[in-house]
Structure 1
Amino acid sequence: MDLAGVGVWSSQLRYGDAGEAAEAAAELEELGFTALWIPDVGGPVLDSVGQLLSSTKEVVIATGILNLWMHEPADVATAYASLTAEHGERFLLGIGVSHAPLIDSKEPGLYKKPLAATRAYLDAIDATDNPVPVASRVLAALGPKMLELSATRSRGAHPYLVTPDHTRYAREHLGDGPLLLPEQTVLLTKDKDEARALGTDWLRSYLALPNYANNLLRSGFTQEDVSSVSDRLFDAIIAWGDEETVLRRVNEHLSAGADHVCVQVLTADPREFPRAQWRQLAAALRNL
């Protein structure tokens, strides 16, 4: 399972038109991206994994992340075994505890003790007849305790909405060996006003979630930065500019200890597959 280089993190591959997702996945593989990451905020995410595996030949398909409150461990283990039997070991199971506002909005009080819940979920997977190998799973992790769990119970960590400084922090906590696979959001525009118009509301929606807000506060940003979506915070989280700007940010993550960076492209229409932008990035990233 090759998890070097650069991948693509895409909600469109998960929730967009299935036919175009299949075509886009095949093209992304041809363009040289080493992994395709999809989110899970409800629905049959493992079916989507299977469809993307069927559309490709060698690229890794990863969940970024499978929401542990929404899937039974036994079902996940069974699906993993079936998918790997059919497609080989190309499925990286990213598992995450999500966020209290999202989970409790559907079932109040369900979200609690995220570290213990993650540990219990891994225990349940390991107790099945077909446990998912440690080498084929990673955890969503931001803080030190979840990073430690990632290092001891999985192949590594998949931090989301983070800076290269957090990547350095995460590597220090993971130590050598475990994989570090951060997400990096990008906007291909040199116009600051356009970047802010496209990215501010997107970023604000994540900052409303305590896990992300608290991680940024822990990383040295102020409450005012978070509340106002300051330029300082915006520029640290979203790499906006031309392809060389994105390349520099990816290199910053790699220099800080990342093994692989998955790039998420924002556009004016979140439902649109940003295929032109993916092609632009692929051409620039060949210089890595």
Structure 2
Amino acid sequence: MTTQGLGKYGVWAHASAFTPEGVRELEGLGYGAVWLGGSPEAGLSVVDPLLEATEALSVGTSIVNIWSAPAKQVAESFHRIEARFPGRFILGIGAGHPEATDVYRKPYDALVEYLDVLDDAGVPKQRRALAALGPRVLELARDRTAGALPYLTTAEHTRQAREILGPDALLVAEHKVLVDTDPVRARLTARPRVEFYLNLRNCVSNLKRLGFSDTDVAHPGSDHLIDALALHGTVDQVADSLVAHLAAGADQVALQVVSEDILGTLRALAPALAERG
């Protein structure tokens, strides 16, 4: 898919956090896409009002969970949205976490089967993307979708992912942020939003591949880990750290604000991000 209209900065949040009024403001602030977390249901009813409220903003799922959302129904929802808002919806899918479902089996095989159903239902390769962390699923994202939507990663992971994906695939890297110059307070805010993922073996395995130690990933997460996964500091410091993803090969960085004032933080960061291009 083309990334020209996607913009360099997007916003990631639970689907329930987005409102038509809120995404209209985000578009005005210069954010190019919103990414809907929390495993949106197969009907994707949350998507239409957000696209209807905006003019050019892209909306993507990050992600539809393949265990809870049947592929045929998701394909029908995709075609409904694409007919109304051509080119503005990105279907992000993924296998989620083995700890979160009773029907979990080999995720790679399940992803392949899900993509096969989407193929049969006419969902174009270039209108879908895949949650991917490790090399094998990144390769699948490259070969069977527009690209990858990695979560809970660093600029180093972005660099490694770009090498695997090649120069043309979509790469949108999520990163947690908060504007707070007190590192102790910032860690207290961010740690609960990171610690949950230390229970999930796919996330922990990826963090270890990136060089984090057993001590780093042990509960409640080392300060070093928290600082890397939840960027904090002044507006300019956070913006500079986000740009590192772009320098490493990301097409877009999806900001996930972990403080309570989500819109206020995004308002504060928007001019600094715009200055950095």
TM-score range, shorter chain: over 0.9
1:122-201, aligned counterparts within 5 Å?
122-128=115-121, 131-201=122-192
What stretches of structure 1 move > 2 A for 4+ residues in a row?
Answer: 40-45
Aligned to 1:76: 74
Q: State the alpha-carbon separation in 1 of the partners of residues 194 and 94 from structure 2.
A: 20
- Where do residues 3-22 of structure 1 align in structure 2 (5 Å cutoff)? 3-11=6-14, 14-16=15-17, 21-22=19-20
Equivalent residue number for residue 63 of structure 1: 61
Name the aligned partner's letter for residue 23 of structure 1: E
Opposite residue 238 of structure 1, the aligned amino acid is A
Q: State whether residues 45 and 66 of structure 1, in contact with CA within 8 Å, keep that contact through their aligned partners in structure 2.
A: no
Instruction: Report the CA distance between 1:43 and its aligned residue.
Output: 4.1
Cα offset, 1:236, TM superposition: 1.2
- For structure 2, the 5+ residue unaligned runs are none
Q: Which amino acid is 1:274 matched to? A: I
For 2:135 and 2:41, how far apart are their aligned partners in 1? 30
Specify the SS of the correspondent of 2:216: helix
TM-score when normalising by structure 2: 0.95
Per the alignment, residue 203 of structure 1 pairs with: 194
Identity of aligned residues (%): 39
- CA deviation after TM superposition for structure 1 residue 44, in Å: 5.7
2:6 partner amino acid:
L
Please tell me the root mean square deviation across aligned C-alpha atoms, in Å. Answer: 1.4
Q: What secondary structure does 1:81 align onto?
A: helix
Deviations 1:34-56 (A, max 9, x none): 10111133646611111211111
Q: After the TM superposition, which residues 26-45 of structure 1 pair with which residues of structure 2 at under 5 Å, given as runs? A: 26-41=24-39, 43=41
Distance 1:199 1:140, change over 3 A: same
Paired with 1:188 and 1:206, the residues of 2 have a C-alpha distance of 22
SS at the partner of 1:159?
coil
Q: Is the 8 A contact 1:42 1:70 kept in 2?
A: no
Q: How many residues align?
A: 272
Quick check: 2:187–2:227 contact (8 Å CA) kept in 1?
no
Cα distance per residue 1:235-283 (max 9 Å; x no partner): 111111111112111211011111111101111x4xxx61111111111
TM-superposed CA distance for 1:3, in Å, is: 2.3
